[in-house]
Structure 1
């Protein structure tokens, strides 16, 4: 009898120990709480989008303090994420760029890389619409200049957002040049993508120029790779919304009638840009006050063209017209002036829209899904890493994971309602009881900076708090 009693007591103790161990290993009581998210109407600063100012530099053999010159020009520019630099090479229109000239170019890029902005870069020979006076007489000189500047561009590529133009034309805009024919455009574009090692976005002035260049590009898949031109060649439009044909950017014929070598009508060119610029950037400047840049019409076209950046200084009449317009919506922007609305929506504007958190009892995991929207005009063209963090009550990170999901699939523009889900399973086995906070963020792999979301909630502790996990015995 005594042995039976001892055996029973031992049995109870073993079972109690097992139950206690299970309690420690599995969490029988898990409470998950999601945060609610509201869109903010605030202007937010994010890289590679927005309005910009232009800064110009004439390159010569004379020694110049490029850092001082750039600081002087940018003295009042403190709130932009982008700036444009126009680099004039007319002093070398008959020859290679000298050693001294190249040194000045490198000093300029060194100074540019120290600024907080990223750069829209345009090499050119003309600032006055008199390109025939300044452009090299031989395309070989232009090609040589591309080769010479390529080393500097490659070295400072992290500070360059896009490289506009192919060096030639009035204001570097590929018009008024002898090199506008298909063969010349193809030569110049191929040299420029080669000089930059296919590692930065390029841009030509019109969709028809893009098509002429790409007519010869090898866009088939080779070893899993596209032709670099296909992946990197975008557009810029300095006649944006200036008339029914954007001041010569578009034509009158349909795509079927015009083919590759002529501009298409406005509606088909807009559709072409909507598809193309879902993967490569587009921007420029709006000009000439007319019906095509009235606020409502402008919003529709800026969305369709996926416009990421615009000149802050041109055209003042159009910008003032937008500033005097009022937004009529049923959201947080209702009553805002039109210019402020456009300022907030150029490029990408990412919004945390909802969070789902569920406990999988048998796996003892927290199944977390975050939904993002892009309510801006254009996609995110740079790759950012999604990050989910779990922190304890002292602020220490106990878990970090990169959820599945691709932010670049959020195209914005006319697809602003589209959502992309980012999902992760957070293991809870062995985690001590307590209250844990969950954060989500998009992080730049290169420098560790974070994208700001367009929510009322602010970033904290390396992310946006999306919920809590409460573990109890």
Structure 2
């Protein structure tokens, strides 16, 4: 009996192997495909991609009779920075709810920038003069009410609003110099903001220790919990004292990192390590200040990369920005050799994808793509391959892969199985497209590929039917 059962199993395995081999030979017999790839040459050009780079800042006082600084509806958005930061001052309503006209102004502001094609960072505040205690509401409940009111407007623009900085309080909205910054108040304000703002919008605090206190933990998001909509998966950082001193002007402290010391500000090296792990999943940015050795080019590149910085203020601090503009990046093996330090940083903030290789293995098209930027894309991109025949017929196929996990300094493998048996013989041009589905913006790879309405040209397929 055992011999008979073994014989049946062996026969079944051999039959299965035969059928697989037969199917493969039949497929090969039906068609022959050749693929000629385009050269995957890296480009050092500046790219116009959303959510990243040097931002421009605009301020608005809600309740003013008129609004200025709105984008010109007739201007070309490609000629302006893709990322803007909007400071929205609520000081006229420190002791009352926002009026309907003020809320209408907020809607007008966000609508104007959305129509202009910009991605947005928002910061609600009550102070621009370093006197938050004089201009903020005395009642925490009033601030919570303002969060409710503004959220109803902000949530209409989830496609364009990338993140919100802070919790409405502090000097210049930077979470310092306020009567509402006790650990309890910070937690109440941030948790309420997270509850009323659409979970697709990231939130951020001024320092790493503020994040740890609000979450009551030093635990970081993991690949399994990242982007799940929880507060931990949304809460990033904004550092407006970046590279300013050894402790980034009070951003860091003097306590070594430990599980028990999560409520203390850690030493610089430990906080950089914390950000290195955290900011693969949540955004980090801000502004650089005070010309000093910590923002000399070599030091700056190391720390900006380690912190996974996505965005910086384009105007502040001019002393630091000018120093970078007058510095030169040197690396003979790099396409960026000889470029200014400023331009190198501008081209590496956020994500930057280089297609390193494309190849066809049987019916599967494979793409090797490296992220050479400082951070990931925190919003998932749509990925697509399109074949265009000589007659102009289009065949599009989604690519596997989640761009949110294409980590800096890592190469990702993308692939798609192409149904050659269903295609007519002939020559097909192969195009690759990455699209941000929120803004419906095409993402540019850092390659010299030619581009048209189908995407970026990867190569040419020639399909011959033999039977």
The TM-score with structure 2 as length reference comes to 0.88
Distance in 1 (alpha carbons) for counterparts of 2:56 and 2:39: 38
2:113 aligned counterpart, secondary structure: helix
Show the counterpart of 2:361: 358
**Farther off after superposition, 178-187 or 255-264:** 255-264
TM superposition shift of 1:100: 2.3
Contact 1:279/1:381 (<8 A) preserved? yes
TM superposition shift of 1:52: 1.1
Which of 1 and 2 has greater Rg? 1
Q: Does 1:426 align with 2:423?
A: no
Show the counterpart of 2:237: 235
Q: CA 1:75/1:449 → structure 2, altered by over 3 Å: closer, same or farther?
A: closer
Distance in 1 (alpha carbons) for counterparts of 2:183 and 2:283: 22
For 2:322, which of 306, 311, 320 is the aligned residue? 320
Contact 1:32/1:358 (<8 A) preserved? no
Distance in 2 (alpha carbons) for counterparts of 1:248 and 1:328: 32
**Would you say how many aligned residue pairs link Structure 1 and Structure 2?**
437
Deviations 1:299-319 (A, max 9, x none): 000001110110010000001
For 2:345, which of 342, 361, 371 is the aligned residue? 342
Show the counterpart of 2:101: 100
2:308 aligned counterpart, secondary structure: coil
TM superposition shift of 1:446: 3.9
Distance in 2 (alpha carbons) for counterparts of 1:132 and 1:298: 34
Contact 2:309/2:375 (<8 A) preserved? yes
Distance in 2 (alpha carbons) for counterparts of 1:403 and 1:71: 36
For 2:388, which of 386, 391, 403 is the aligned residue? 391
1:71 aligned counterpart, secondary structure: coil
Q: How does 1:8-157 map to 2 (within 5 A)?
A: 26-60=29-63, 62-64=64-66, 66=67, 69-71=69-71, 78-157=79-158
Q: CA 1:436/1:327 → structure 2, altered by over 3 Å: closer, same or farther?
A: same
TM superposition shift of 1:385: 1.1
Q: Does 1:289 align with 2:310?
A: no
For 1:463, which of 432, 455, 467 is the aligned residue? 455
Q: How does 1:202-351 map to 2 (within 5 A)?
A: 202-215=203-216, 228-256=230-258, 259-329=261-331, 330-351=333-354
Q: CA 1:31/1:180 → structure 2, altered by over 3 Å: closer, same or farther?
A: same
1:274 aligned counterpart, secondary structure: helix
Contact 2:387/2:396 (<8 A) preserved? yes
RMSD: 2.6
The TM-score with structure 1 as length reference comes to 0.87
Show the counterpart of 2:403: 407
Distance in 1 (alpha carbons) for counterparts of 2:305 and 2:175: 25
Distance in 1 (alpha carbons) for counterparts of 2:218 and 2:199: 13
TM superposition shift of 1:70: 1.1
TM superposition shift of 1:460: 2.3
Distance in 2 (alpha carbons) for counterparts of 1:419 and 1:219: 23
Contact 1:356/1:370 (<8 A) preserved? yes
Distance in 1 (alpha carbons) for counterparts of 2:188 and 2:152: 19
* Unpaired stretches in structure 1, ≥5 consecutive residues: 1-21, 360-365
1:335 aligned counterpart, secondary structure: coil
TM superposition shift of 1:113: 1.8
Distance in 2 (alpha carbons) for counterparts of 1:138 and 1:280: 31
TM superposition shift of 1:208: 0.4
Show the counterpart of 1:4: none
Q: CA 1:373/1:139 → structure 2, altered by over 3 Å: closer, same or farther?
A: same
Q: How does 1:183-194 map to 2 (within 5 A)?
A: 183-194=184-195
Show the counterpart of 1:178: 179
2:81 aligned counterpart, secondary structure: coil
Q: Does 1:439 align with 2:425?
A: no
